Amino acid sequence: PRTRLQASLDSFLADRSAAKLFYDGVTDGALKSYAGDALPDNSLDDQKKISALVDYMHTELMKKSMMADYTDEAAPLGDEFDDFIEEGRKMLAISHSRVCGGSDEVAVSETVWPALAELFKDEKEDSGILCLLPDFNSDPATFLDQEVVEPLSQMGFGDRLEACVYAKKDGAPHNSFRIIVSPSAVPADAPNKSDDKDTM
């Protein structure tokens, strides 16, 4: 019998042709084939928008660095330091960046899903995508949850996604989101280089 989950995925796909094209290539929770057209290279204008967002992300990361710097040196390394390292690793994981036009969910989804296909058709751990939604007028967090994370989870990708929103209302230059695939955990005890015999 069809589950309620499948029914909700089917109704989502009914008016999301790009998502349907993505779904048609999914087997056992992985994108095995993709029949959609490749997106064109980012235009110069797109690259400028991406660059502005990356600058913003870098500024936010440096704020975490300052918080890590202002902790007492004698104190054990705390959450501030972990947050800084973790966020830095996630920024380095971004392997694709796309500007997705459209002011509503249906229009934006037509570019977001081919962009997700770029990431998932050659899926690797610790890889990710940054999607900018410069013309999108609604809440980017709701879009990410309902239009991206929930459908991907229903398709079998959910256990290896880490998603994050950059909202214009919080200071980002454009509403945007990031998805990291299978992010590896920060090692609890990263070995100190000087203890590594191979460096002798």
Q: What does DSSP assign to residue 111? A: H
Q: Which pLDDT value is given to residue 117?
A: 96
Taking phi over 0 as left and psi of -120 to 50 as alpha, with beta for the rest, 99 belongs to beta
d(CA 55, CA 145): 25
d(CA 91, CA 129): 10
Q: Which pLDDT value is given to residue 7?
A: 78
Structure tokens at 112: 């977001």
Q: Which pLDDT value is given to residue 83?
A: 72
Structure tokens at 37: 């057209």
Encode pLDDT of 71-130 as tens digits: 555 555 556 666 777 777 777 788 899 999 999 999 999 999 999 999 999 888 888 999
28-33 long-range contacts, CB within 8 A, separation 24+: 28/156, 29/155, 29/156, 29/157, 30/120, 30/123, 30/156, 30/157, 31/117, 31/120, 31/121, 31/123, 33/121
Q: Which pLDDT value is given to residue 186?
A: 60
Per the listing, tokens 């991907």 go with: 152
How open is the CA angle 68-187-130, to the nearest 5 degrees? 70
Q: Which pLDDT value is given to residue 130?
A: 95
Q: Which pLDDT value is given to residue 95?
A: 87
Residues of the chain with pLDDT under 50: 1, 191-200
